[in-house]
């Protein structure tokens, strides 16, 4: 039966009533291994007792304590020996960090902090360590089999900070994300790929920025550059929102606006940009009210839906549609859609290439919405590296599971 030393017993007696410290030690096969590379090193000396926070037992906090050795590694010199229950330089066990990261994907940071009884500032670094560990386990597999990629620039903190996101459209997951935007940041993604992986890319979708097309052509000359269907529809929803805002302001000036959500224009703010099949019964009633009270806004809404439906047609069926839509938008008399009509007419061949590519707009929209939802959950993260780790954990296809559920 294992015995507890007098020093260990004294330390345990000095702990608060709801905290338990358990002495542990590595198995013989894991002892004297370098924490950086895992190779066995020559014992050098002993350090003092350290403690690691482990998963709670009911309402009691559990700490693991151990006096690690330092070893002389042939590659890294004198360094602390590996503790198999925790990552290097972490004060938490792997199980504790995995559970904290899993909760962070599903709940705001404040809730995770309260449930795990950990400082809220520690949640972000924990997510980053777990994401790095899972990526290391998966290796370069995230980039294997790339055929269709999408590039997007996502704003954070109301557009003051940007992040560049690359999505694997075939598998519907984020494969790369980096702080900043522009050509230098985009170069970092292609530099992370081997020549064989760059050659495997056949389709690259973006928001229509010319510099993206130029850089894709430079790194992947065989890839077809197309417009992202999600961004094509977003052009129309942005124009529609401007029309709604103008209508609301006019109603306030003339004194015909209702109070709050009872006003047909303001009440339909969330219903107008949604897909027809996704509308609730209440939102359908709101749009019927708009159709009966504001002809201009209703016409703009119909134009938005027509553009969305064009992307769902076959290439042959859609061939004449972008130009016809552009003509109807220009004749609508709605300034925002007249300008959009000119843009659609200029980019009609790009839109037809998007339709021929066969990329599902529903999948693109789903991935983008998941990223936006994750960013919204992560607004409390001041460190962008922590936020990027959170997005990768939720949208990156990493195998994040609760401890003991593998």
Write out pLDDT tens, residues 102-150: 999 988 888 999 999 999 889 999 999 999 989 888 766 778 888 888 8
Q: Are residues 183 and 273 in the same domain?
A: no
- pLDDT (0 to 100) of residue 284: 86
**Quick one: 150 and 233 in the same domain?**
no
In angstroms, the CA 116 to CA 55 distance is 8
- Residue 140 is predicted with a pLDDT of 63
Does the model's pTM come out above 0.95? Answer: no
**Number of structural domains, the chain?**
3
Last residue of a domain, one of 67, 87, 107: 87
Of 92, 93, 98, 54, residue with least CA distance to 393: 98
pLDDT digits 0-9 by tens, 8-45: 555 655 677 788 888 888 888 888 888 888 888 888 88
Question: Are 176 and 370 in contact, with CB atoms under 8 Å apart?
Answer: no
Position 261 pLDDT exceeds 60 = no
Please indicate, yes or no, whether residues 202 and 291 belong to a single structural domain of this protein.
no
Of 87, 120, 149, the last residue of a domain is 87
Question: Residue 150 belongs to a domain with what CATH number?
Answer: 3.30.420
Q: Is residue 45 part of a domain?
A: yes
Whether residues 233 and 340 fall in one domain: yes
Residues 155 and 168 in one domain: yes
Same domain, 234 and 352: yes
Same domain, 276 and 349: yes
Asked if residue 237 and residue 309 are part of one domain, the reply reads yes
Q: 304 with 255, same domain?
A: yes
Residue 338 has pLDDT above 80, yes or no: yes
Do 248 and 266 contact (CB within 8 A), yes or no? yes
3-state SS of the chain? CCCCCHHHHHHHHCCCCCEEEEECCCCHHHCCEECCCCCECEEEEECCCEEEEEEEECCEEEEEEECCEEEEECCCEEEEECCCCECCCCCEEHHHHHHHHHHHHHCCHHHHHHHHCCCHHHHHHHHHHHHHHHHHHHHHHHHCCCCEEEEEEEEECCCCEEEEEEEECCCCEEEEEEECCCHHHHHHHHHCCCHHHHHHCCEEEECCCHHHHHHHHHHCCCCEEEECHHHHHHHHHHHHHHHHHHHHHHHHHHCCCCCHHHCHHHHCCCCCCCCHHHCCHHHHHHHHHHHHHCHHHHHHHHHHHHHHHHCCCCHHHHCCHHHHHHHHHHHCCCHHHHHHHHHHHHCHHHHHHHHHHCCCHHHHHHHHHHHHHHHHHHHHCCCHHHHHHHHHHHHCCCCCCCCCCC
pLDDT in tens, 358-385: 776 566 667 777 887 887 776 667 788 8
Name which of 1-15, 114-128, 205-219, 233-247 the model is least confident about: 1-15
Residue 269 has pLDDT above 50, yes or no: yes
The answer to whether position 275 is within a domain reads yes
In a domain, 116, yes or no: no
Q: Indicate whether 316 and 205 sit together in one domain.
A: no
Listed residues 69, 87, 105: the one ending a domain: 87
Where is average pLDDT lowest: 31-40, 234-243, 308-317, 376-385?
376-385
Residue 327 in any domain: the answer is: yes
Whether residue 206 lies inside any domain: the answer is: yes
| pLDDT value at 222 more than 50 | yes
pLDDT of residue 1: 37
Name the maximum alpha-carbon separation found in the chain.
89
The pLDDT of residue 157: 66
Residues 276 and 328 in one domain: yes
Q: What average pLDDT score do residues 328-352 get?
A: 91
Domain range holding 12? Answer: 1-87
Q: Is residue 403 part of a domain?
A: no
Query: Is residue 123 a part of any domain in this protein?
Result: no
Residue 83 lies in a domain: yes
* pLDDT at residue 154 tops 70: yes
Same domain assignment for residues 301 and 352: yes
153 bridge partner residues: 164
- Whether 236 contacts 217, CB under 8 Å: no
């Amino acid at each position: 039966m294992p015995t507890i030393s007098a020093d260990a017993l004294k330390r345990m007696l000095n702990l608060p009533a709801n905290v338990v410290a358990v002495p542990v030690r590595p198995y013989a096969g894991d002892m004297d291994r370098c924490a950086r590379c895992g190779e066995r090193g020559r014992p050098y000396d002993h350090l003092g007792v350290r403690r690691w926070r482990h998963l709670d037992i009911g309402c009691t906090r559990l700490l693991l304590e151990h006096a690690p050795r330092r070893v002389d590694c042939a590659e890294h010199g004198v360094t602390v020996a590996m503790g198999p229950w925790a990552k290097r330089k972490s004060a938490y066990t792997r199980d504790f960090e995995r559970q904290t990261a899993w909760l962070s994907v599903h709940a705001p940071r404040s809730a995770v902090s309260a449930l795990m009884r950990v400082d809220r500032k520690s949640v972000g670094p924990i997510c980053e360590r777990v994401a790095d560990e899972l990526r290391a386990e998966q290796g370069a597999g995230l980039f294997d089999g790339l055929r269709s990629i999408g590039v997007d620039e996502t704003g954070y903190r109301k557009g003051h900070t940007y992040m560049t996101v690359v999505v694997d459209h075939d598998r519907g997951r984020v494969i790369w994300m980096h702080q900043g935007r522009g050509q230098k940041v985009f170069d970092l993604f292609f530099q992370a790929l081997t020549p064989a992986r760059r050659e495997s890319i056949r389709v690259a979708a973006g928001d229509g920025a010319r510099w993206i097309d130029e850089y894709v052509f430079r790194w992947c000359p065989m890839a077809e550059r197309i417009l992202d269907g999600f961004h094509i529809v977003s052009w129309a929803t942005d124009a529609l929102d401007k029309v709604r805002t103008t209508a609301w302001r006019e109603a306030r000036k003339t004194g015909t606006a209702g109070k709050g959500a009872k006003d047909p224009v303001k009440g339909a703010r969330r219903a107008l940009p949604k897909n027809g099949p996704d509308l609730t019964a209440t939102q359908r009633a709101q749009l019927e009210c708009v159709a009966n009270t504001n002809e201009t806004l209703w016409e703009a809404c119909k134009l938005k839906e027509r553009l969305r439906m064009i992307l769902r047609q076959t290439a042959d069926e859609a061939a004449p549609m972008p130009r016809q839509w552009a003509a109807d938008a220009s004749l609508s008399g709605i300034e925002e859609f007249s300008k959009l009509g000119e843009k659609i007419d200029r980019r009609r061949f790009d839109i037809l290439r998007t339709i021929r590519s066969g990329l599902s707009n529903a999948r693109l929209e789903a991935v983008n919405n998941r990223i936006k939802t994750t960013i919204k959950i992560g607004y409390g993260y001041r460190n962008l590296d922590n936020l990027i780790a959170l997005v990768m954990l939720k949208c990156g296809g990493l195998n994040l599971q609760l401890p003991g559920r593998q």
